Chains A and B, each alone.
Chain A
Amino acid sequence: MIPSDTRTRTLTRRALLGQAAFGGAAFIAAPAWSNAINLPFQNGGREITGAFPQKGEMILQRTRAPLLETPWTIFDKDVFTPNDRFYVRWHWTGIPETVDINTFRLRVHGNVERELAFSLSELMHKLPRVDLAAVNQCSGNSRGLFSPRVPGAQWGNGAMGNATWSGFRLKDLLDLAGVKAGSVQVRFAGLDEPTVEDAPPFRKSLAIDHARDGEVMVAYAMNGQALPFLNGFPLRLVVPGWYATYWMKMLTDIEVLDKPDENFWTKKAYLIPDTPHANISPGTKDVKMIPINRMVPRSFVTNFSSGARIKASAPHEVRGIAFGGDCGVAKVETSIDGGANWQPAELGPDQGKYGFRRWTAKFTSPGDGQRLSLMARCTNANGLAQPDKPNWNSSGFMRNVIETIDLVTFEEG
């Protein structure tokens, strides 16, 4: 599969290296998966892989560029997601082969008084350290559950994770550079490159006031360790309460802009309908679109899965995780009758308003052979509750409907 002379696009060196792997290997059937799961939607079969560096077993969504989903059982163990099970999402295959920490620089330039280029060591010593627990969630987390289905990575609910991020405030770095009057946005770039040279490199921008709000930070550690390579080593932007598309991995370039960012990924990608819950009816035309932004509340049962059988007429404990989105969790309620009646759940320790919050509740199951629709509903500190009907948009973004777990009771003996 060597590009012929008739192809006009220039491929990067990495693309050519990637192609070499396919030479002479045509028409090999996919190997049988020794370890697989089924996500709960059509064509939901997925291989479990342990083949990626610094990662344990993950749900394989795509090998190249890597899309790896966190297996659901991980979320039942702790509110912090281990680094080696944290989900992975890359846009382009041009992930660098080397990150040399001696030559790595984070550059700040554009509409600033002083251009900066700091080494990791300089960044760690010039700027005060901050620690923050925050959920990082893909804009398209749970896309596979959209109905009607939409194209894109067909994630279950595991394209999210919670970590303690350690680093420095973006504001402090921008202050060292001196943001000039008239600045409107700050654009971020990582070390990754497109596979094809004239394709749009992955860039994202934030409004200048957001970038300087004192919460947006640059992390050099995740759960007390260096960032895993696939989660953005050595530096990653952390945008608390906002979807992960803004959390630039392998962050190396910060540009202060005096006019709005026109690049594809900011202007034309990751857009949502400007409607409540980013919800439209399939087929709706001429909808005003805006960049995806703040996350919305979600909650999940972690100790039961749909289809499970539980003991009849007996006490049970249900537990799970919740997050408020762009603010903390005010309350979580549970229902065992499909949402007709709700009881408050008990919340676990608050380890940061942007992080996961553990919750538990007790219920008594009905008699033999009965079905239960177990639900959890989070209301965030701004008073926003999860909706009882799923949203829909053509990109599969921002799902946060109340999820339902269907259980059946049985008598012992």
Chain B
Amino acid sequence: MRLYVQIIAGMVTAVLLTGTAVAQDSARLKSESFDLPTGDRQFTGPRSEVANNNCLTCHSAEMVTVQAPLSKETWEKIVKKMINVYKAPVPDDDVAALVEYLSNNPAASK
């Protein structure tokens, strides 16, 4: 994701130095561009497709891979919260498979 941000460093510095200084005109401003990493790692292992299809729209895979070890019951609650509260577009048919995949994820299941 490409980010274009105009920095007000010049303007802020002017105000900090003088307290009441009139903000300098836009000639003092500088445009810069940033790359914000997308985090394009995929889930792996048997039946990982269901996680790749349903989780990665809203967040990168680390939300699962560095998660605390959690029970199947907890993963089920999380999937339901993602759907009901955060409006994740998970098809009904995928819910059980998704919970199964997450609770068998060796990095974050117990």
Contacts and interface: CB of A to CB of B under 8 A. Distances in A.
Contacts of A151: 67-68, 70, 74, 78
B83 to A, nearest CB: 10
A221 interface: yes
Nearest to B93: A6
Most buried by A among B16, B52, B53: B16
A42 B11 contact: no
A93 B58 contact: yes
A43 B108 contact: yes
B15 A64 contact: no
Interface residues of A, number: 76
Nearest to A220: B12
Interface in B1-37: 1-9, 11-13, 15-16, 19-20, 22-23, 26, 29, 34-37
Tier of interface size on chain B: 35 or more
Interface stretch (A96-104, A286-294, A321-329, A359-367): A96-104
A25 B58 contact: no
B23 A196 contact: no
Given A53-B36, A196-B88, A11 B57 contact: yes
A11 B26 contact: no
A307 to B, nearest CB: 21
Interface of A is mostly: loop
Interface stretch (A16-24, A336-344, A384-392): A16-24
Interface string B77-99: 01000000111110100000000
B60 interface: yes
B26 to A, nearest CB: 6
Q: Which 4 pairs across A and B sit closest by C-beta, in order of nearness?
A: A63-B39, A53-B34, A149-B68, A9-B89
Interface of B: 1-9, 11-13, 15-16, 19-20, 22-23, 26, 29, 34-42, 44, 48-49, 52-53, 56-63, 65-70, 74, 78, 85-89, 91, 107-108
